[in-house]
Amino acid sequence: MKNKILFSLCLTLLLVNSCKKEEVKSDSISGHVYEEGSGNPIPNATVFLIAEGSGSWAPMKQMASTKTDQNGAFAIENRQDPDLSFHYLVAQASDYYILESHLDKEKYEVTDKTTQKNVYLFRKATIKVRLLNGGAGNNITLQGRRDNIHWTRNLIKDTTLDFNVEAYAPTKIHYTAVTASIAKSGDTTLITTPINSDTAVFRY
């Protein structure tokens, strides 16, 4: 009787394991991590292969990771999870923005057939945003790809603050200002470098 129970348990475990999808492994993905805009290679950057499901609360899983060499080159094992529908590369390095899934993941999607993929990171930079004619009661929003500043009260006239942008890349900053229930809006586009000290000035 005891042997029959053990046999039944082993058979059940075997059936469960046989029904589980196997993780797919293929050749590694090779490439380089470069600085967006300048094209300079980024050494010692960390590269991840991420698997993600679908839906607003999608599960996410790190499949593999590696680092770039002194020439910015990397090779990462291409491990695919069949239970998760989307796979993509993510990279991070000091002084650079980490690739964000909602901004970049479609650009860096990989499949089990992918063998080559380069990754580009934006260097962190800031500009000075100066609002010349703000005042109490104003409602002002500045929105860019990497930053969003919102003032709703206690705005001091001729206010200057740092605004986070991407170096060497065109940055569009959209502003909306509401004064006495009258709304105005507009855009400005500029390119900045990591040491740029220019000031973007907004009048409304």
The answer to whether 11 touches 3, Cβ cutoff 8 Å, is no
Q: Report the share of the chain in percent with pLDDT over 70.
A: 65
Query: Per CATH, which fold does 22-121 belong to?
Result: Immunoglobulin-like (2.60.40)
Confidence of residue 7 (pLDDT cuts 50, 70, 90): very low
Give the DSSP H or E segment for 6: helix 2-19
Q: Which CATH superfamily is domain 124-202 in?
A: Immunoglobulins (2.60.40.10)
144-158 per-position pLDDT tens digit: 777 777 765 556 667
74-88 per-position pLDDT tens digit: 999 999 999 998 999
Q: What's residue 35's pLDDT?
A: 92
Q: Residues 6 or more apart from 154 whose CB is under 8 A from it?
A: 136
Listed in order, the ranges of the chain carrying CATH 2.60.40.10 are 22-121, 124-202
